Structure 1
Amino acid sequence: MKQNQVLRFSIQGLRCAGCVSSLENALQNTDGIVDVTVNFAEHVAQVQGDTSSEKIIAAIVEAGYGADLIRDNGQFDDTAAQEQLEYQQLVDKAVMPAIFALPLMLYDQINGLPDIISLPGRFFWLLIAVITLGCLIYSGKHFYLGALRSWQHRQANMDTLVALGTGSSWLYSVAVLALGDRLPHLAQHAYFEAALFILIFLNLGAAIEVRARGKTSSAIRQLMNLQPKTARLVRQGLELDVVIGDVLVGDIIRVRPGEKIAVDGRVIEGLGIVDESMLTGEAMPVEKNVDSTVKAGTLNIQGSFLYQADRIGQETLLAQVVETVLQAQGAKPAIARLADKIAAVFVPVVVVIAMGVFVGWFYFGPQPALGYAFVTAMTVLVIACPCALGLATPISVMVAVGRAAQAGILIRNGQALQTAGQISCVVFDKTGTITEGRPEVVEIKAFNHFSQKQVLQWAASLELGSEHVLAASVLRAAKAKALTTLTVTGFEMRPGLGVTGLIGNQRVALGNQSLIDELVLDASTCNDVLQHSYVQGYTAMILAVDGEIVGILSVSDPVKTDSAQAINQLHALGIRVMMLTGDHERTAQVIAAQVAIDHCRAQCLPSDKLAIIKELQAAGEVVAMVGDGINDAPALMQADVGVAVGSGTDIAIDSADFIILDGSLLKMNQAIELSKATLTNIKQNLWGAFIYNALSIPIAAGLLYPAFGFLLSPVIASAAMAFSSLTVVANANRLRWVKLTVETND
Structure 2
Amino acid sequence: MGNNQLGKHQLADEELTIPVIGMSCNKCVAKVTAGLSDVSGVVSVDVDLEAAKAKIKGQFELQVIRSVIEDLGFQVEVADDDLGKNSADKVQPASDDAPTQQEGNSDSIPFLFGITGMSCASCVSAVENSLLETPGVVSAAVNFADQTALVKTTGSIEEILEHVDAAGYGAALLQEENPDQKDELLRSEIRASLFKSMVALVVGFSLMAASMLDSLPGLEHSFFWLGTGVSILLVMWVTGGHFYRGAYRAATHRTTTMDTLITLGTGAAWFYSMVVIVLPLLLPEPSRHLFFEAALFIIGFVNLGKTMEASAKGKASAAIRKLIGLRPTTAIKIVEGVEVQVDADAIDIGDQLRIKPGEAFPVDGVVRQGQSSVDESMLTGEPLLVEKNLNDRVVSGTLNQFGSLVIEAEQVGSETALSRIIQRVREAQNSKPKIGKLTDRISSVFLPVVILLAVTTVFTWWLVGPEPKISFMIVTGMSVLIIACPCALGLAIPMSIMVGVGRAASSGILIRNGEALQAASRLTTVVLDKTGTVTTGKPQVSQFHAIDEARMLTIAHSLEVLSEHPLAGAIVKYCELNRVETRQISGFVIAPGGGVSGELEGLQIACGNIRYMRELGYQGVDLEAEGTVIHVGEGEKIIGHFVLNDSLKADSIEAVADLKRQGLKVVMLTGDSESSARAIAGQLSLDEIVAGVKPEDKLNKIRDLQARGEKVGMVGDGINDSLALTAADVGFAMGEGADIAVETADVALLGNSIKGVSSAIKVSRMTMRNIFQNLTAAFTYNILLIPIAAGILYPFTGLLVNPAMAGLAMALSSITVVSNASRLRWAKLA
Please say if 1:678 is aligned against 2:781.
no
- 2:638 matched to 1:536? no
For 1:61 and 1:447, the matched residues in 2 are separated by: 80
The one-letter amino acid of 2:626's match is Q
- Cα contact 1:426–1:576 (8 A) shared by 2: yes
Q: Secondary structure at the match of 1:11?
A: strand
Cα deviation for residue 711 of structure 1 reads 1.4
Distance 2:372 2:223 in 1: 80
Between structures 1 and 2, the one with greater helix share: 1
Does the CA-based 8 Å contact 2:131-2:160 persist in structure 1? Answer: yes
Q: Which residue of 1 aligns with 2:594?
A: 497
CA distance in structure 2 between the partners assigned to 1:420 and 1:138 by the alignment: 47
In structure 2, stretches of 5+ residues that fail to align are 1-103
Per-residue deviation, residues 380-438 of structure 1 (Å, max 9, x unmatched): 11111000011111101111111111222111121222232332211000111011122
Confirm or deny: 8 A CA contact 1:460 1:478 kept in the other structure.
no
Q: Which residue of the other structure, out of 387, 409, 425, is the alignment partner of 1:287?
A: 387
Aligned residues of 1:128 and 1:192 also touching (Cα < 8 A):
no
2:180 match: 77
**Contact 1:404/1:674, CA 8 A, preserved across alignment:** yes
Tell me the amino acid that sits aligned with residue 127 of structure 2: L
Match for residue 518 of structure 1? 615
Map 1:230-629 → 2, pairs under 5 A: 230-441=330-541, 451-463=551-563, 466=564, 468-474=565-571, 492-500=589-597, 509-522=606-619, 524=620, 527=622, 530-531=623-624, 535-538=625-628, 540-544=629-633, 549=638, 552-629=641-718
Instruction: Judge conservation of contact 1:416–1:641 (CA < 8 Å) in 2.
Output: yes
For the Cα contact (< 8 Å) 2:309–2:814, is it kept in 1? yes
SS in 1 for 2:384: coil
Q: 1:61 to 1:3 in 2, by over 3 A?
A: farther
Secondary structure of the structure 2 residue equivalent to 1:165: helix
Q: Is the 8 A contact 2:396 2:416 kept in 1?
A: yes
CA contact (8 A) 1:6 1:46 kept: no
**Deviation by residue 1:218-256 (Cα, 9 ceiling, x = unmatched):** 122222222222223333333333222222323333333
Secondary structure of 1:624's match? strand
Aligned AA for 2:788?
A: I
Contact 1:4 1:48 (C-alpha < 8 Å) held by counterparts = no
Deviation at 1:733, TM superposition (A): 0.8
Identity of aligned residues (%): 43
Q: Any stretches of 5+ residues in structure 1 without a counterpart?
A: none
Q: Which residue of 2 aligns with 1:650?
A: 739
- State the Cα deviation string for residues 345-368 of structure 1 (Å, max 9, x = none): 111110000010111112221222
Q: Distance in 2 between matches of 1:460 and 1:244?
A: 41
Provide the rounded CA distance (Å) in 1 between the counterparts of 2:293 and 2:270: 9
Q: How many residues align?
A: 726
Contact map agreement 1:460 1:485 (CA 8 A) in 2: no
Q: Secondary structure at the match of 2:279?
A: helix
SS of alignment partner, residue 561 of structure 1: coil
1:566-600 Cα offsets, whole Å, 9 max, x none, are 11222233321110112222222222223222411
Q: Specify the SS of the correspondent of 1:102.
A: helix
Q: What is the alpha-carbon distance in structure 2 between the residues aligned to residue 480 and residue 240 of structure 1?
A: 44
Cα distance in structure 2, aligned partners of 1:268 and 1:556 = 33
Match of 1:723 in 2: 812
Is 1:713–2:816 an aligned residue pair?
A: no
Residue 727 of structure 2 corresponds to residue 638 of structure 1: yes
- Asked if 1:147 corresponds to 2:247, the answer is yes
1:22 to 113, 126, 141: 126
Q: Secondary structure at the match of 2:370?
A: strand
Amino acid in the other structure paired with 2:820: N
d(CA) in 2 for partners of 1:429, 1:608: 12
- What do residues 478-532 of structure 1 show as CA deviations (whole Å, max 9, x unaligned)? 777788876666555433223455668765544333222222233x2x65xx43x
Deviates more, 1:92-101 or 1:207-216: 92-101
Which has the higher mean CA deviation after the structures are superposed, 162-171 or 510-519?
Answer: 510-519
Distance across 2 between alignment mates of 1:482 and 1:208: 70
**CA–CA distance in 1 between the matches of 2:616 and 2:162?**
61
Structure number with greater CO (CA < 8 Å, separation at least 6) is 1
- Corresponding residue SS for 2:401: strand
CA RMSD of aligned residues (A): 2.7
How many angstroms apart in 2 are the aligned matches of 1:75 and 1:643?
31
Cα deviation, 1:185-216, whole Å, max 9, x if unaligned, reads: 12222222221221111122112211110010
Alignment partner of 1:266: what SS?
Answer: strand
Say if 1:714 and 1:518 are closer, same or farther in 2 by CA, change over 3 A.
same
CA distance in 1, matches of 2:379, 2:578: 36
Distance in 2, Cα, partners of 1:476 & 1:228: 39
SS in structure 2 opposite 1:265? strand
Q: CA contact under 8 A between 1:450 and 1:551: conserved in structure 2?
A: no
Deviation at 1:94, TM superposition (A): 2.2
Q: Post-superposition shift, 1:26?
A: 4.5
Q: From the superposition, tell whether residues 714 and 621 of structure 1 become closer, same or farther in structure 2 (CA, over 3 Å).
A: same
Q: Under a length normalisation based on structure 2, what TM-score does the superposition of the two structures give?
A: 0.82
TM-score norm. by structure 1 comes to 0.91
> Aligned match of 1:100 in 203, 206, 209?
203
Query: What are the superposed Cα offsets for residues 595-650 of structure 1, whole Å, 9 maximum, x if unpaired?
Result: 22241111212221111111111212121111111121121122122111111111
Match of 1:87 in 2: 190
Structure 1 Cα separation of the partners of residues 570 and 255 of structure 2: 63
Q: Sort the Cα spacing of 1:450 and 1:658 in 2 relative to 1 into closer, same or farther, 3 A.
A: same
Sort the Cα spacing of 1:700 and 1:450 in 2 relative to 1 into closer, same or farther, 3 A: same
In structure 1, how many angstroms separate the alpha carbons of the residues matched to 2:582 and 2:474? 89
Residues 3 and 48 of structure 1 are in contact (CA less than 8 Å); yes or no, is this contact kept in structure 2?
no
User: In structure 2, what is the Cα distance between the partners aligned to 1:500 and 1:200?
Assistant: 77
Matched, 1:224 2:327: no
Displacement of 1:181 in angstroms is: 2.6
**SS class of match (1:451):** helix
Q: CA 1:635 to 1:393, structure 2 compared with 1: closer, same or farther past 3 Å? A: same
Deviation per residue, 1:670-698 (Å, 9 max, x gap): 22222222222112111111111112111
Distance in 2 between the 1:658 and 1:226 partners? 22
Equivalent position SS for 1:37: strand
Q: Which moved more, 1:723-732 or 1:26-35?
A: 26-35
